[in-house]
Amino acid sequence: MRRSKYRRASRSNNWFSGKRRIIAVAATLVAFGGIVTVTQVSNASTDRNQRKALSACDRIQAPPRSELSTKTRKGTYTTNNGTVTQHADDGAGETVSVSTLRQRCRDWVMNNVGNNEDDEATTPPTSPATNEPAAGDPSAPAEDPSAPAGDPTESAPAEEGNNGGENGGDQGQGDNGGDQGQGDNGGDQGEQPAPDPTDTTPPPGAGLGILTNSCDTSQLTPHDGFQNGNRCVSTEFGEVGEAANNPTLLITQAPRQVAPNTPFTLTVSTRNLIRDRFLAAGQGGYYVESSVLQNGLVRGHFHTACRMLESTNAAPAPDPVPAFFVATEDSRGGATPDSVQIQVPGLPNNGIAQCASWAGDGSHRIPMMQRANQIPAYDAVRITVRSGRR
C-alpha cells in the first residue's frame, strides 16, 4: 500500500522551525557580529601599535661622525694578495645613511610588531623621544658613505655579518648610571632590581654586594650599536670557552726603529680565534653581538693600532685617535697558531710609538677568558720613530 504524499509532520522535526529558526538565525548573526567586532578591535590594536612604531622609525636622527685614525688607508681593503680583509678603524668610517636606518626600522616593525598590547614587545629599534641616533642592521651595506649613522634603543633582530653566522648581543659600555657607589665589594644592593618572589635560585655573585647586573637600574640612554659613550649596553656577554680554548695573540715580528712616514710590517700570530666575524662599527655593529663559539673557539677578528706616546712614564690619554688602526678578518684561524702580516703605512713624526694587537669578538670586545688569571689575547711593542740611520 502506498504511503500518502501528505504525511503529518513529526513533532520532533519542528524544533528548528518557525520562531525557533528565527531565534537560531538571530543568535548566529549575533555571534558572527561578535567575531567581526573582536577581529576589528584586534586589527585596530595591531594597526595602532604598528603606526606608533613606524612613527618612531621616522624620527631616527644621525649621530656625530667618529674620529678616524690619521695614517690608516680609509675604508675596507685587502692585503696579502687579496687574502686578508682590513677594516680601517673597526669600520667606523663605513657609515650608513639615515634613510637606510629608517627603512631597516620600518622593515623590523612590519616583521615584528603585531597584535600585542605589550608596549615593550612592540617597541621598534629606535629612540623616538630624543635626537639620539638609531641603530639598524649592522651588516647591511652602507648606502651613503658621507652620511653618518642613526640610533636604536633595542637591537634589531640579528642578521648576517660580513662572513655569515648569527648575530647575538654583547656586553656593556659606559657607566651603569645611577648612584653606584665606590669602594671595594660594597655598594648599595638596593640598586639591583627586586628579585622574582617565585625564583628560589640566587643570582650569580649573590652576597658580594653586586652594584647591578643589567641596564634596568641605569639612568643612561640605551646603547645604540654606534660608537657613543655615556650609554648602557644591555647585550649579554655570550659564550665563554674552556681555558685551553681561550684565544691568545702575540706580535712575533716588529721593527725596533722606523723613519717617519715610512711603511713597515708587523707580524701577528693568533691561536684559538676564528677570524670570520666582523660587524662594522659605523653601521651599528658596535657592542650588539654576544660572544659566539664554534667548536669551542671564539668567532671574531683582531685589531692592530699604533699611537705616538707623549711620555713613557705615565699612562696616555685614552681619547686621541691613533695614527693607525685596522681590524683584520680573513676567514681563517683556529686552534693551531698561524700568522698574519699587517702593513702599517708609516707613523707621522719622531718619538716613541706603541703598536698593539688584540683579539675581538664579532662586536669588537676582547674575548672573555674562563679564569681570571689568564692573560687575554693582547700584545704590544714599542717602536722608535726617528729620522736618519736605523
Model confidence at 181: pLDDT above 50: no
pLDDT band at 340 (very low <50, low <70, confident <90, very high): very high
Output the pLDDT for position 172. Answer: 36
The whole-number average pLDDT for the span 32-45 is 51
Question: Which is more confident, 121 or 124?
Answer: 124
Overall number of domains in the chain: 1
11 falls within a domain: no
Q: Compute the mean pLDDT over every residue in the chain, rounded to the nearest whole number.
A: 74
276 falls within a domain: yes
Question: Which is more confident, 363 or 88?
Answer: 363
Between 105-109, 178-182, 324-328, the lowest mean confidence (pLDDT) is in 178-182
Q: What is the pLDDT of residues 200-219, one digit of tens each?
A: 567 787 777 889 999 999 99
121 falls within a domain: no
Question: Which is more confident, 165 or 385?
Answer: 385
Q: Where are the alpha helices (DSSP H) in the chain?
A: 18-57, 98-112
Containing structural domain, residue 329 = 64-98+129-179+214-390
Output the pLDDT for position 150. Answer: 39
Output the pLDDT for position 214. Answer: 93
The whole-number average pLDDT for the span 382-389 is 88
Model confidence at 166: pLDDT above 80: no
Output the pLDDT for position 250. Answer: 98
Question: Which is more confident, 79 or 272?
Answer: 272
56 falls within a domain: no
Report yes or no: 139 and 174 within 8 Å, Cβ to Cβ: no
Output the pLDDT for position 175. Answer: 38
Q: Is 151 left (phi over 0), alpha (psi -120 to 50) or beta?
A: beta
The whole-number average pLDDT for the span 87-100 is 73
DSSP 48-85: HHHHHHHHHHTT-BPPPPPP--SSSPPSEEEETTTTEE
Q: Is 312 left (phi over 0), alpha (psi -120 to 50) or beta?
A: alpha
Output the pLDDT for position 31. Answer: 56
Of the ranges 44-53, 159-168, 239-248, which is most confident? 239-248
Q: Is 224 left (phi over 0), alpha (psi -120 to 50) or beta?
A: alpha
Model confidence at 251: pLDDT above 80: yes
Model confidence at 76: pLDDT above 50: yes
317 falls within a domain: yes
The whole-number average pLDDT for the span 267-271 is 98
Grouping H, G, I as helix, E, B as strand and the rest as coil, residue 375 is: coil
Model confidence at 173: pLDDT above 80: no
Nearest to 359 by CA among 282, 278, 254: 278
Distance CA 378, CA 337 (A): 15
31 falls within a domain: no
The position carrying cell 681619547 is 319
CATH code of the domain covering residue 92: 2.60.40.150
Q: What's the predicted TM-score (pTM) here?
A: 0.59
Output the pLDDT for position 267. Answer: 98
Question: Which is more confident, 334 or 39?
Answer: 334
Output the pLDDT for position 134. Answer: 37
77 falls within a domain: yes
For residue 365, what is its C-alpha cell?
670586545
Question: Which is more confident, 187 or 311?
Answer: 311
Output the pLDDT for position 101. Answer: 75
Model confidence at 315: pLDDT above 90: yes
341 falls within a domain: yes
Cβ atoms < 10 Å from Cβ of 283: 25
Residue 24 DSSP code: H
